[in-house]
């Protein structure tokens, strides 16, 4: 987690002129933005606007077609060493949880510490329990993912990412696969992380979360950043016509 | 002795009295060759299957990329040849081929292990490849997002899950190998089939001698099918788990 006590002036991550093409289809057209320490950026926009692709390009689960992602002003090269070093500092939480099915809750959390950070089992267990406690999943350390509800799985997935003590956490629609009654428990954990000062980027359809919790909101439309600003600017005084249209559905809904 | 046996059952009893030691040693050889060959063949099959599934895109230098392409080529030829020819022919080619080409006389037992291993490895690699491809892409992405390299990801996440998926097929392969080792009599491996020939030949009682052999094979395959079924169920794991620190200690929750 970020140790910076004050809001730093240097960005942790810089996205510069990012483009991503799938076949003939240009999904990301020209994306640039900076992520500063303690930022909690939400990315909103309709399906197919490129939100998730942007997030996946940042940690190179998709290789960008053009442009660059900089981490502390150093470009992430598309080779496995550079990418893996970056990924171990920038965690990711997926829509479909992606917990390891062959491992218990505890083993899921320990995996990164053991096989990426190569630290001792004692340390791995200790820190896993600490973060499982934080998300309220410590009673379930012996359960396998298939034995848990969606909300529980997602909380374990968040703990698994936190155990790596990442500088930034990326959330790819973390509540979109959940039943309505489970969305709350995951959002509560995320709100706690924001107030702890964890730097994060959240792709979400939860407009209330974007408006009330995030420090900055990016509205994406058709592969571009259409509008960017504080939640107050975006939600209460949107300048762009597309933003206004998109948000009118939310306000009326 | 109360004279020569005069019916099917008395011949069976007579042959068992005469040759039980021989049958037993044949049975042991059959088990040894099929078990060792299956285990080594599975190890080979996993290695080959992983190579077949890898794209080589993670190799960092052009030299390594070339080497990897070469390895993939070799693997492809190996799998094609061994899946495309009968094991009995492979046995002859390998056993006599090595002896003629290098002048070494490989002991039949070692040759048997080698042949079964190579044969099993070729089939198993396809099973492993299918198994790996059946694992949800999210498992890989979960590991990649932690910054995990391919090797620990394979060892700790993908292959353990693949193992569970393909375990029934491994059991089938082993049971198949118990039967298929019988073709190794052509290179004089003294397995069950070979020794039956010996037992049958002395008194010309083919029917009785091979009936005994058939019963032994059947017992083995039934027993091992049952054993693998038990292991499979055990591997599936319990459906319940213990909630730590619950009011009632050791309370079990069923999902």
DSSP element (H, E) containing B227: helix B206-236
Q: What is the pLDDT of residue B162?
A: 96
Separation between Cα atoms, residue A200 and residue A42, nearest integer Å: 8
Average pLDDT of chain A to the nearest whole number:
93
Least confident of A84-93, A142-151, B57-66: B57-66
Percent over 90 (pLDDT), chain A: 91
Mutation target vs B (from A56, A101, A150; most B CBs, 10 A cutoff) = A101
User: A102: nearest CA in chain B?
Assistant: B161
CB contact under 8 A, B157 and A146: no
Contact B129, B52 (CB under 8 A): yes
Between the CA of residue A161 and those of A128, A172, A174, B145, what are the distances in Å? 10, 13, 13, 9
Nearest of A78, A72, A49, A43 to residue A205 by alpha carbon:
A43
Domains located in chain B, CATH noted: 8-235 (1.10.3720.10)
Note the pLDDT tens digit of each residue in B133-188.
999 999 999 999 999 999 999 999 999 999 999 999 999 999 999 999 999 988 98
Confidence of residue B3 (pLDDT cuts 50, 70, 90): low
B91 or B56: which leads in pLDDT: B91
Distance from CA of A179 to the nearest CA of B (A): 17
Which pLDDT value is given to residue B250?
Answer: 47
* Structure tokens belonging to residue A41: 């950026």
**Which residues in chain B touch residue A91, judged by CB atoms under 8 angstroms apart?**
145-146
Residue A6 has pLDDT above 90, yes or no: no
- Whether A135 shows a pLDDT value over 50: the answer reads yes
B160 interaction partners in chain A (CB closer than 8 Å): 102
Q: Given CB atoms, is A144 within the 8 Å cutoff of chain B?
A: yes
pLDDT digits (tens, 9 = 90+) for B202-250: 888 889 999 999 999 999 999 999 999 999 988 887 777 888 875 544 4
- Give the Cα-Cα-Cα angle A145, A147, A152 (nearest 5 degrees): 65
Q: Which of A23-37, A210-224, B95-109 has the lowest mean pLDDT?
A: B95-109
Nearest chain A residue to B154, by CA: A115
Q: In whole angstroms, how large is the CA radius of gyration of chain A?
A: 18
What's the pLDDT score for residue B202? 86
Measured in Å, how far apart are chain B's first and last C-alpha atoms?
A: 67
Beta carbons of B143 and A100 less than 8 Å apart = yes
C-alpha closest to that of A214 among A41, A47, A85, A75 = A41
Average pLDDT of A170-187?
94
Beta bridge pairs of residue A218: A43, A228
- Over 50: is that where the pLDDT of A75 sits? yes
Burial class from Cβ neighbours inside 10 Å (0-12, 13-18, 19+) for residue A136 reads middle
Angle between the N-to-C axes of helices B8-53 and B159-180, in degrees from 0 to 180, rounded to the nearest 10: 150
CB distance from A71 to chain B under 8 Å? no
**Rounded to a whole number, what is the distance in Å from the CA of B252 to chain A's nearest CA?**
11
**Residue A156: both structure tokens together:** 């374990």
Q: How close B172 comes to chain A (CA, Å)?
A: 23
Q: How far is CA B95 from CA B80, B109, B156, B191, in A?
A: 20, 10, 38, 16
Per-residue model confidence (pLDDT) at position B203: 85
Q: A46 to chain B nearest CA, in Å?
A: 23
The verdict on a CB contact (< 8 Å) between A160 and B146 is yes
| Predicted local distance difference test score (pLDDT) of residue A5 | 43
Kindly list the distances between the CA atom of residue B133 and the CA atoms of A73, A252, B78, B126, in Å, as whole numbers in the listed order: 38, 45, 21, 11
What percent of chain B is predicted at pLDDT more than 70?
A: 95
What pLDDT, in 10s, does the model give residues B35-52? 999 999 999 999 999 999
**Chain B CB contacts of A80 below 8 Å:** 58, 60, 149-150
- Which pair of structure tokens corresponds to residue B104? 């070494």
User: What residues of chain A lie within 8 A of the CB of B239, using their CB?
Assistant: 147
Closest-CA distance, B165 to chain A, in angstroms, reads 11
H helices of chain A, in order, are: 51-58, 80-87, 105-115, 121-134, 150-162, 180-196, 207-212, 231-236, 241-252
- Over 50: is that where the pLDDT of A25 sits? yes
pLDDT at A250: 77
pLDDT at B97: 87
Most distant CA pair in chain B, distance: 80
At residue A35, does pLDDT exceed 70? Answer: yes
User: Residue A62 and residue B231: Cα distance in Å, rounded?
Assistant: 40
Sign of dihedral through CA atoms B50, B55, B59, B61? Answer: positive
Tokens linked to A175: 């509540």
Q: Are B23 and B195 in contact (CB under 8 A)?
A: yes
**Cα A79–chain centre separation:** 22
Q: What pLDDT band is residue A163 in, cutting at 50, 70 and 90?
A: very high
Give the C-alpha distances (Å, rounded to integers) separating B155 from A141, B52, B160.
22, 16, 7
Query: Which residue does chain A place closest to B159, by CA atoms?
Result: A102
Cα(A176)–Cα(A3) distance, rounded to whole angstroms? 30
pLDDT reported for residue B239:
74
- C-alpha to C-alpha distance for B64 and B175, rounded to whole angstroms: 39
Give residue B118's pLDDT band: very low, low, confident or very high (50, 70, 90).
Answer: very high
A235 touches chain B (CB under 8 A): no
| CA distance, residue B98 to nearest chain A CA (Å) | 43
Pairwise CB contact (< 8 Å): B60 & A116: no
Answer whether B243 touches A (CB < 8 Å).
yes
Residue B2 has pLDDT above 60, yes or no: no
Measured between CB atoms, which of A103, A142, A160 is closest to B244?
A142
> Cα distance from A55 to chain B (closest Cα, Å)?
12
What tokens were used for A240? 């762009």
3-state secondary structure A109-173: HHHHHHHCCCCCHHHHHHHHHHHHHHCCCHHHCCCCHHHCCHHHHHHHHHHHHHCCCCCEEEEEC
pLDDT at residue B57 in the model: 72
Q: Which of A80, A98, A140 minimises the CB distance to B243?
A: A140
Instruction: Using the predicted structure, report yes or no on whether residue B99 has a pLDDT greater than 90.
Output: no
| Interface list for A 109-128 with B (CB within 8 A) | 111-112, 115-116
């Amino acid at each position: 987690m970020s140790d910076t006590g004050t809001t730093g002036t240097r960005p942790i991550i810089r996205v510069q002129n990012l483009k991503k093409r799938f076949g003939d289809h240009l999904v990301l057209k020209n994306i640039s933005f900076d992520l500063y320490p303690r930022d909690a950026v939400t990315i909103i926009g309709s399906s197919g606007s490129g939100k998730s692709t942007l997030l996946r390009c940042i940690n190179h689960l998709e290789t960008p077609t053009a442009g660059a992602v900089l981490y502390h002003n150093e470009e992430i090269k598309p080779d496995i060493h550079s990418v893996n070093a970056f990924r171990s500092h920038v965690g990711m939480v997926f829509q479909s949880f992606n917990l390891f099915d062959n491992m218990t809750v505890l083993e899921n959390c320990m995996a990164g510490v053991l096989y990426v950070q190569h630290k001792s089992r004692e340390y791995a267990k200790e820190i896993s329990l600490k973060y499982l406690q934080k998300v309220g999943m410590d009673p379930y350390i012996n359960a396998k993912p298939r034995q848990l509800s969606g909300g529980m799985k997602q909380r374990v997935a968040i703990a698994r990412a936190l155990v790596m003590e990442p500088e930034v956490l990326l959330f790819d629609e973390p509540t979109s696969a959940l039943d309505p009654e489970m969305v709350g428990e995951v959002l509560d954990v995320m709100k706690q992380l924001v107030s702890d000062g964890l730097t994060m980027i959240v792709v979400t359809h939860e407009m209330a979360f974007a408006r009330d919790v995030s420090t900055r909101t990016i509205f994406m439309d058709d592969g571009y950043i259409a509008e960017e600003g504080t939640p107050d600017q975006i939600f209460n005084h949107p300048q762009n016509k597309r933003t206004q249209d998109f948000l009118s559905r939310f306000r009326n809904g | 002795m109360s004279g020569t046996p005069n019916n099917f059952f008395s011949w069976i009893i007579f042959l068992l009295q005469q040759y039980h030691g021989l049958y037993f040693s044949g049975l042991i050889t059959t088990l040894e060759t099929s078990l060792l060959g299956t285990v080594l063949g599975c190890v080979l099959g996993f290695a080959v299957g992983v190579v077949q599934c890898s794209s080589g895109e993670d190799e960092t230098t052009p030299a390594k990329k070339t080497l990897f392409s070469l390895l993939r080529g070799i693997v492809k030829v190996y799998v094609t040849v061994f899946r495309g020819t009968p094991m009995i022919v492979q046995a002859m080619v390998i056993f006599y081929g090595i002896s003629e080409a290098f002048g070494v006389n490989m002991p039949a037992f070692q040759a048997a292990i080698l042949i079964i291993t190579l044969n099993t490895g070729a089939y198993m690699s396809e099973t492993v490849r299918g198994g790996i491809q059946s694992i949800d892409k999210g498992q890989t992405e979960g590991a990649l997002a932690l910054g995990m390299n391919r090797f620990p990801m394979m060892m700790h996440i993908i292959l353990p899950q693949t193992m569970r998926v393909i375990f029934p097929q491994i059991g089938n392969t082993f049971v198949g190998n118990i039967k298929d080792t019988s073709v190794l009599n052509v290179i004089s491996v003294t397995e069950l089939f070979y020794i039956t020939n010996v037992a049958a030949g002395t008194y010309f009682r083919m029917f009785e001698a091979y009936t005994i052999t058939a019963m032994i094979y059947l017992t083995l395959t039934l027993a091992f099918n049952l054993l693998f079924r038990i292991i499979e169920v055990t591997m599936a794991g319990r459906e319940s788990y213990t909630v730590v620190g619950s009011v009632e200690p050791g309370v079990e929750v069923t999902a």
